[in-house]
Each structure stands twice: as structure tokens, then as C-alpha cells.
């Protein structure tokens, strides 16, 4: 079949043709955003899940819907080597410029820009990666004392006042939220708390690995009351079928029942894997319908692609000792596993491997569901490791 018309789109955050099984989550987040815009109380939303379950795709869909309603949205990804002030400052500037187009909020937006100018000037001393410049006279005494918790609250409050004047919500969207260090996550939570206390239309929609709930809870004692945590997991069998059938049907292509069942079984409902398997099944099939034989051949291509990219890129980031730790975990199965059991499998003491475990968590390879436990952040990673580390 024509590869140019392949309806499947495996990729980092690439929106699928059919966003199956996620309507309830998207609708709940949009309700929270709309309530915020109306000045009604609503918790900030955090989407938690392993890699490959579609959190970034969901953020993209929520952003599109919020912007289509006129909300003011800033979306950032929190990489491991950039500070929050550096990521947020230029986007808050753009948000204020957008708000300034509304006559009723123009003066509030200009004040927000002056507050932001003071914030940038004060924080550049500590966060040298800030690159944005504002040719405005800073507002003296606001967001300029050099303390991130105080200054960040001031500047987000100022942007929130401008958003309120425009009748819209300021929606701060942060992907990979778990990468924000505690020294910056705490001030962000404090800023959101102040906005909630002052009934300003500011809300956060974040996404991160499952350990983000613990990070937020540790950042501020009141964080658990500010956030609504939603677990984003695998799709149900029915949703998986929809994610395969509907894109094919849109192109006038069918699929046999046994072929569809094999995709459901082989992908375990992980959205990224569904897209990868669907893509290769389309490329292999010569005509409609896609058959079980097509899917069996496609599995080999899909598995090779995942090994080289989705799995392989992560495996290349770890050291020899870290690979030994991961291999020991893989031999125990998908997990989660007790740290002590992994140490025993390696023939070492728990203390001897504690630093390895910590490094793997810092790199985002593992996470800790509970005290003394670890699990892979990437689905089916244990199967991959057993394939390549024979």
C-alpha cells in the first residue's frame, strides 16, 4: 500500500489519527481550565505515566483545545540542563504580549512586562542560562529581590492579573516535570498556591514519570491539596482496537480479526507501540485487509525499530555498572522489584549498588513506586534487555 498515506505516526509526541481511550482525561483537564478562566476554584492537573503511554500527545491535544478557546497557553519541556526561569521567562513575555492585544487588559499586561523585566534582571545573577531581554524599565520592588520563591510568585501573579483582565486563563503546561530540581519545583508550587489564594486564573497542566507525585509532595506540604494526579497507563483492548481500526478505515483499509488481536496482544496497549506496529503492518501489507501474516512480518520490523530507537537510545546512556544492574532487574521480570533482590541477583550488597540505583533514577531509567522498590520507566524494557544481553 502507498506509504505516503500511512495513517500511523510513531514519534515523540506525534499526534495519532485516533486519540483512543483518553476522552475522559482530556475532558476533565479542559473542565479545570474553563473553571479557572471563570474564576472558579480548580486543582492543577498532573498526568503521570511511563514513557510511551502518550502523555506528551495528551498535552498537545489539551493545548490545541485550550488555545482554540482563546486561553493563554505556555508549553515547555523541562530538560535536565535548563533552569525553570530560563524556560519560563521568554514564554511569559509572549503570553503578556498576547494579552496586551485586549484593550481591557493592556495596562495590566504592560505592568506584567515591567515585573518580568525586574525578575529577569534579578535572576540572571543566579541562573546564567536566561537569554531573554526586555527593553523596559523594571517595576521596582516587585519580583526583583533575588529569591526565586518570592520573585517567581510575584511575576506569575502579575501575569495572572493580566490574564484575569482579559477574561482568559493562563495555562502553564510543563512536560517532563520530574526533571525540575526541588530548588525550582518548590517555588513554582508556591507561586501557584499564591495565585489560588488570590483567585487568579492561573493553572498548571503538567506531565511526568510516576515519581512526580512524590517530588511535588516533598516540595511543599500543601502540594497534595493543590494537584489532581491522573495516572496515564495502557489502553484497554477495545481502545487499542479503535486506535488501529479507525485510522485504517479512514484510508479505506480493513484488518482481519486475528491480525487485530495479535496487535492488541503484542503491544500490550502501549500507545507508542501501537503506532509503531500499525505503521509497519501498513507498509508490509500489499492490499486490504491487513492479515495476520502481515502483522507477524511487521512485528519483526517494529521490534527492530524499537530496539534501535525507543529502547536503544536509552540503553546507550548508561555505564557498564549500570547495565549490569539493569540486566539483573530484567532477569527478575518487568517489576517492580525490591532493591535487595536486585543486589542479591548481582551478588553484591545493597549498599554496594545503592549509588548505581540512584544514578539510574536520576537518568530517568528507573523510578521508585515505594520505599525499597524500583521499576523500569520504559514499558517492556526487561524484554529488550534480555534480547540484547544474552
* 80-131 pLDDT, tens digit each: 678 999 999 999 999 999 999 999 999 999 999 999 999 999 998 889 888 8
pLDDT higher than 70, residue 345: yes
| CATH of the domain spanning 319-388, picked from 1.10.30.50, 1.10.10.10, 2.30.40.10, 1.10.1030.10 | 1.10.10.10
List the chain domain ranges. 23-231, 237-314, 319-388
Helix (H) or strand (E) holding 367: strand 366-367
Q: Residue 323 corresponds to which cell in the numbers above?
A: 547495565
- Average pLDDT, integer, range 32-49: 95
| CATH of the domain spanning 23-231, picked from 3.40.50.300, 3.60.21.10, 3.40.50.2300, 3.30.70.2660 | 3.40.50.300
153 prior amide bond cis, ω within 30: no
Confidence band for 3, pLDDT divided at 50, 70 and 90: confident
The burial class, CB within 10 Å (0-12 / 13-18 / 19+), for 296 is middle
Per-residue model confidence (pLDDT) at position 390 = 67
Cα–Cα distance, 48 to 61 (Å, whole number)? 16
Per-residue model confidence (pLDDT) at position 52 = 85
Cα–Cα distance, 300 to 313 (Å, whole number)? 19
Q: What are the residues whose beta carbons fall under 8 Å from the beta carbon of 381, sequence distance 6 or more?
A: 311, 314, 326, 330
- Share of residues in the chain with pLDDT > 90 (%): 77
pLDDT higher than 80, residue 158: yes
Angle at 372 between CA 367 and CA 375, to 5 degrees: 30
Name all contacts of 211-215 with Cβ < 8 Å and 24+ positions apart. 211/178, 211/361, 211/367, 211/368, 212/46, 212/48, 212/177, 212/178, 213/46, 213/48, 214/368, 215/177, 215/178, 215/180, 215/182, 215/185
CA distance to 17, 18, 20, 263, per residue, from 242 (Å): 10, 7, 6, 12
The whole-angstrom distance between residue 327's C-alpha and the CA centroid of its chain comes to 27
Question: 161: number of CA atoms within 13 Å, CB side?
Answer: 16
- Share of residues in the chain with pLDDT > 70 (%): 99
Confidence band for 1, pLDDT divided at 50, 70 and 90: confident
> What average pLDDT does the chain have?
93
Per-residue model confidence (pLDDT) at position 59 = 96
pLDDT higher than 80, residue 13: no
Cα–Cα distance, 159 to 151 (Å, whole number)? 13
pLDDT higher than 90, residue 389: no
Cβ 275 vs Cβ 16: under 8 Å = yes
Cβ 65 vs Cβ 34: under 8 Å = no
Per-residue model confidence (pLDDT) at position 71 = 97
pLDDT tens digits, 190-221: 999 999 999 999 999 999 998 899 889 999 98
Q: What are the residues whose beta carbons fall under 8 Å from the beta carbon of 280, sequence distance 6 or more?
A: 298, 299, 301, 302, 305
Confidence band for 344, pLDDT divided at 50, 70 and 90: very high
User: Where is pLDDT greater, at 14 or 9?
Assistant: 9
Per-residue model confidence (pLDDT) at position 387 = 87
Fold of the CATH domain 237-314? Helicase, Ruva Protein; domain 3 (1.10.8)
pLDDT higher than 90, residue 135: no
Q: What are the residues whose beta carbons fall under 8 Å from the beta carbon of 23, sequence distance 6 or more?
A: none
User: Where is pLDDT greater, at 82 or 341?
Assistant: 341
- Average pLDDT, integer, range 60-77: 96
Residue 43 DSSP SS3: coil
- Average pLDDT, integer, range 274-289: 96
Q: What are the residues whose beta carbons fall under 8 Å from the beta carbon of 308, sequence distance 6 or more?
A: none
Q: What's the pTM?
A: 0.88
Buried b or exposed e, range 327-349, using 16+ CB within 10 angstroms: bbbbeeeebbbebebbbebbeee
The single-letter DSSP state of residue 38 is: T
CA distance to 176, 332, 373, per residue, from 386 (Å): 28, 10, 21
Per-residue model confidence (pLDDT) at position 148 = 95
- Average pLDDT, integer, range 228-244: 96
Cα–Cα distance, 95 to 169 (Å, whole number)? 11
For 188, phi then psi, to 5°, come to -65, -45
- Average pLDDT, integer, range 253-279: 95
Per-residue model confidence (pLDDT) at position 291 = 97
Amino acid at each position: 500500500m502507498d506509504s505516503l498515506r500511512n495513517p500511523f505516526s510513531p514519534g515523540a509526541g506525534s499526534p495519532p489519527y485516533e486519540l483512543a481511550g483518553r476522552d475522559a482525561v482530556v475532558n476533565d483537564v479542559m473542565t479545570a481550565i474553563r473553571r479557572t478562566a471563570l474564576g472558579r476554584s480548580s486543582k492543577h492537573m498532573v498526568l503521570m505515566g511511563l514513557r510511551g503511554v502518550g502523555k506528551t500527545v495528551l498535552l498537545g491535544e489539551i493545548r490545541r483545545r485550550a488555545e482554540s478557546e482563546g486561553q493563554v497557553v505556555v508549553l515547555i519541556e523541562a530538560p535536565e540542563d535548563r533552569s525553570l526561569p530560563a524556560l519560563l521567562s521568554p514564554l511569559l513575555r509572549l503570553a503578556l504580549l498576547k494579552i496586551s492585544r485586549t484593550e481591557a487588559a493592556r495596562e495590566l499586561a504592560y505592568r506584567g512586562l515591567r515585573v518580568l523585566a525586574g525578575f529577569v534582571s534579578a535572576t540572571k545573577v543566579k541562573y546564567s542560562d536566561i537569554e531573554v531581554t526586555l527593553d523596559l524599565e523594571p517595576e521596582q520592588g516587585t519580583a526583583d529581590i533575588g529569591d526565586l520563591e518570592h520573585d517567581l510568585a510575584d511575576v506569575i501573579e502579575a501575569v495572572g492579573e493580566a490574564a484575569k483582565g482579559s477574561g482568559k486563563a493562563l495555562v502553564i503546561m510543563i512536560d517532563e516535570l520530574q526533571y525540575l530540581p526541588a530548588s525550582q519545583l518548590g517555588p513554582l508550587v508556591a507561586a501557584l498556591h499564591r495565585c489560588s489564594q488570590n483567585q487568579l486564573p492561573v493553572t498548571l497542566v503538567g506531565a511526568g514519570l510516576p515519581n512526580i507525585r512524590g517530588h511535588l509532595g516533598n516540595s511543599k506540604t500543601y502540594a497534595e491539596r493543590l494537584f489532581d494526579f491522573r495516572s496515564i497507563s495502557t489502553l484497554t483492548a477495545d481502545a487499542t482496537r479503535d486506535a488501529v481500526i479507525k485510522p485504517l478505515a479512514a484510508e479505506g483499509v480493513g484488518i482481519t480479526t486475528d491480525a487485530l488481536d495479535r496487535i492488541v496482544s503484542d503491544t500490550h496497549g502501549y500507545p507508542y507501540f501501537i503506532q509503531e506496529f500499525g505503521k509497519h503492518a501498513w507498509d508490509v501489507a500489499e492490499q486490504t485487509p491487513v492479515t495476520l501474516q502481515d502483522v507477524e512480518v511487521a512485528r519483526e520490523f517494529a521490534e527492530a525499530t524499537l530496539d534501535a530507537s525507543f529502547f536503544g537510545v536509552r540503553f546507550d546512556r548508561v555505564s557498564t555498572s549500570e547495565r549490569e544492574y539493569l540486566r539483573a532487574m530484567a532477569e527478575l521480570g518487568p517489576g517492580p522489584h525490591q532493591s535487595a533482590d536486585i543486589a542479591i541477583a548481582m551478588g553484591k550488597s545493597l549498599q554496594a549498588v545503592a549509588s548505581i540505583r540512584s544514578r539510574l533514577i536520576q537518568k530517568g531509567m528507573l523510578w521508585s513506586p515505594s520505599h525499597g522498590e524500583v521499576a523500569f520507566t520504559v514499558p517492556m524494557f526487561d524484554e529488550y534487555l534480555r534480547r540484547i544481553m544474552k
